[in-house]
Structure 1
Amino acid sequence: MARFHRLPVAAVDRLTDDSVALTLSVPDELREEYRHTPGQHLALRRLADGAEIRRTYSICSPAPDALGEGPSTLRVGVRLVEGGAFSTYALKEINVGDELEVMTPAGRFTLAPAPGLYAAVVGGSGITPVLSIVSTLLAREPRARFCLIRSDRTAASTMFLEEVADLKDRYPERLHLVTVLSREEQQAGLPSGRLDQDRLTALLPALLPVTDVAEWFLCGPYGLVQGAERVLRELGVGRTRIHEEIFHVDGAAPTVHPTAPAHATVTARLDGRGGSWPVRDGESVLETVLRNRPDAPYACKGGVCGTCRAFLVGGEVRMDRNFALEPEETEAGYVLACQSHPLTEAVEVDFDR
């Protein structure tokens, strides 16, 4: 069960003009709770003007060995979002020694290190979880190789530039790094421009045997991720080998909440305890549960992070948006509670599965 703990800030490192890396210290007694798989994220929360704000940030540091102790530190990257309540606070106010409320790790955009060829297409801050994936994989598995294709606006705006360069120096034969800048010409390498579908269709087969890649990781803005996914499918890659995590969703269709049936109820199991509650008009499943169980897990409430994933035990719901669950998860019966609205008088979900 996901839980929040207060963790002290051990370091604040400026990455670019609009991004920082926060290093958090993990006390010995909490190290097992913060054990994570490469690619997972943390939800951070704070109170501002009486309102609770939660945001998710991917862990960029390598994952601890499964046989050793949990991590003593965790590192996340935060990029400033225009008008962002948490990112503005992170860049302008957080200092070493401050304590942050941090949820235990979550997320399924992950890789268990194993031999083989892996690849990623990332844009902007999408490098953050992939940095953890690549560094953990190459350190643990000497028979693994990785092709990292990253897109940024300019070199100055590139997050974790030095960290990725260090990885390339450490594993020159096993890490193939390709950088594309959309607004700046490079002295060497690919010409500038966006990584759109046409460009990816030509680029990917020229870089590596696309269908031989064991797992593909796509992370970044919605347009880049969806475009890359379409290209890979057209090139013959099965959907089970494509993993996606979206950081920004622009221009999404407006949400239209269905009216819940009269006297609808939501039954939820959470942390071993269950309960049933009436649904107010327009409420999502998560909102109904939160009125009665404020410990219910959530972060973005936008259908992007997947923190509120629950198993639909009974009844029917409609999800407004889903940018977090794989097709196999929805087919197995999982839903995003923040985006799910009851279509039947009785809906039952299980957050513990």
Structure 2
Amino acid sequence: MARFHALRVAEVERLTDDSVALTFTVPEELREAYRHTAGQHLALRRRVAGEEVRRTYSICSPAPDPGGAGPRTLRVGVRLVEGGAFSTYALKELAAGDEVEVMTPAGRFTLEPAPGLYAAVVGGSGITPVLSIAATLLARERTARFCLVRGDRTAASTMFLEEVADLKDRYPDRFQLVTALSREEQQAGLPSGRLDRERLTALLPALLPVGAVAGWFLCGPYGLVTGAEQALRTLGVPRDRVHQEIFHVTDAPASPRPAGPAHSTLTARLDGRSGTWPVQDGESVLETVLRVRSDAPYACKGGVCGTCRAFLVSGEVRMDRNFALEPEETEAGYVLACQSHPVTEGVEVDFDR
């Protein structure tokens, strides 16, 4: 089960006018608890006006070697969101020496390093987990190659410029970088404009042998990720080679929700203990559990991070949104508790599977 621990902030590094990198020190006794796979994220927690606020941020530092010790530090990227309760705090108040409650790593937008050619299409802060994925892969697999296609508004708004440039310098024959700016012309490289479906369908085959790519990693705003996924589908890429993580889902449509039963009960198993409770009108599975179990796992509540994944043992639910589970996971019976609403009188879920 995921757990929160208070970690001390070692550094707050300004990346752009609206983004920072936070580095946390991991105490010796917690290094194994914070061992992570490249691409995973952390949930950060604080209280605002008496209410708990959680936000998820991807780890940008390379993953520790499997045979070595856990990480001494963890680094995440935070971009300012207008009105954001945590991002505003991170950019304007947080300082080295402060403590933040940090959940142990979670997420399945990951890559276990293996030989082969890999590629990513990212937009904005979507570079954060992919930076960890690319750095970890190239360091561990001497024959692996990685192609990064990234889109940003301007050069000044581009996160982790130095870190990406360092990868290019260290692995000139194995790391390929292509940048598109939507609001600024570049002296070299692609003409300005968004990386939409049409553009990517034409661009990707010109950059690399699309069919030979072992894994595609799409990360960023909803429009970019869905456009890139449609482009890859058009190019004949098998579904199981495409991995997605969506940031900022405010423009994403929700599935229509059928009316649930007048009375429904939920049984949930969590951390080895089970309970059964009535579902109040309009509640999600997660909201029902949180009324009596404050330790229920969650982070974003937006169907993006996958922290609240649970196995549907019996009954039926409908999910409003799902941007975290792969089709294979939903077919196997997994649901996102934050997005699931009972449509049968009895529902049972298991958070421990």
Q: Residue 71 of structure 1 aligns with which residue?
A: 71
Aligned length: 353
Q: Give me the whole-angstrom Cα distance separating, in 1, the residues matched to 2:153 and 2:251.
A: 20
What letter is aligned with 1:141? Answer: E
Tell me how far 1:260 sits from its aligned partner: 3.7
Q: Residue 329 of structure 1 aligns with which residue?
A: 329
Go from structure 1 to structure 2 and tell me whether the alpha carbon gap of 1:30 and 1:178 turns closer, same or farther (over 3 Å shift). Answer: same
User: What SS class does the counterpart of residue 249 from structure 1 fall into?
Assistant: coil
**Cα distance per residue 1:45-89 (max 9 Å; x no partner):** 100001110000000000000111110100000000011111000
What letter is aligned with 1:19? Answer: S
**Cα distance per residue 1:105-128 (max 9 Å; x no partner):** 000000000000000000000000
Tell me how far 1:236 sits from its aligned partner: 0.7
Contact 2:254 2:320 in 1 (8 A): no
Go from structure 1 to structure 2 and tell me whether the alpha carbon gap of 1:171 and 1:31 turns closer, same or farther (over 3 Å shift). Answer: same
Q: Give me the whole-angstrom Cα distance separating, in 2, the residues matched to 1:254 and 1:226.
A: 14
Q: Residue 227 of structure 1 aligns with which residue?
A: 227
**Are 1:94 and 2:90 an aligned pair?**
no
Contact 1:260 1:279 in 2 (8 A): no
Q: Give me the whole-angstrom Cα distance separating, in 1, the residues matched to 2:31 and 2:125.
A: 26
Contact 2:254 2:321 in 1 (8 A): no
Go from structure 1 to structure 2 and tell me whether the alpha carbon gap of 1:210 and 1:256 turns closer, same or farther (over 3 Å shift). Answer: closer
What letter is aligned with 2:130? Answer: V
Q: Give me the whole-angstrom Cα distance separating, in 2, the residues matched to 1:199 and 1:263.
A: 50
Q: Residue 41 of structure 1 aligns with which residue?
A: 41
Q: Give me the whole-angstrom Cα distance separating, in 2, the residues matched to 1:190 and 1:327.
A: 34
RMSD: 1.1
Q: Give me the whole-angstrom Cα distance separating, in 2, the residues matched to 1:64 and 1:342.
A: 40
Q: Residue 145 of structure 2 aligns with which residue?
A: 145
**Are 1:111 and 2:137 an aligned pair?**
no
User: What SS class does the counterpart of residue 60 from structure 2 fall into?
Assistant: coil
**Cα distance per residue 1:16-61 (max 9 Å; x no partner):** 0000000000001111110000000000010000111000000000
Q: Give me the whole-angstrom Cα distance separating, in 1, the residues matched to 2:310 and 2:79.
A: 29
Q: Give me the whole-angstrom Cα distance separating, in 1, the residues matched to 2:314 and 2:22.
A: 41
What letter is aligned with 1:139? Answer: A
Q: Give me the whole-angstrom Cα distance separating, in 2, the residues matched to 1:300 and 1:322.
A: 12
User: What SS class does the counterpart of residue 214 from structure 1 fall into?
Assistant: strand
What letter is aligned with 1:349? Answer: V
What letter is aligned with 1:290? Answer: L
**Cα distance per residue 1:252-283 (max 9 Å; x no partner):** 34676655424311111111111111111111
Q: Residue 24 of structure 1 aligns with which residue?
A: 24
**Are 1:184 and 2:184 an aligned pair?**
yes
TM-score w.r.t. length of structure 2: 0.98
Q: Residue 124 of structure 2 aligns with which residue?
A: 124
What letter is aligned with 1:119? Answer: A
Q: Which runs of 5+ in 2 are unaligned?
A: none
Q: Which runs of 5+ in 1 are unaligned?
A: none
Q: Residue 58 of structure 1 aligns with which residue?
A: 58
User: What SS class does the counterpart of residue 251 from structure 1 fall into?
Assistant: coil
Q: Residue 206 of structure 1 aligns with which residue?
A: 206
Q: Residue 164 of structure 2 aligns with which residue?
A: 164
User: What SS class does the counterpart of residue 291 from structure 2 fall into?
Assistant: helix
Q: Residue 80 of structure 1 aligns with which residue?
A: 80
**Cα distance per residue 1:329-350 (max 9 Å; x no partner):** 1111110000100111111111
TM-score w.r.t. length of structure 1: 0.98
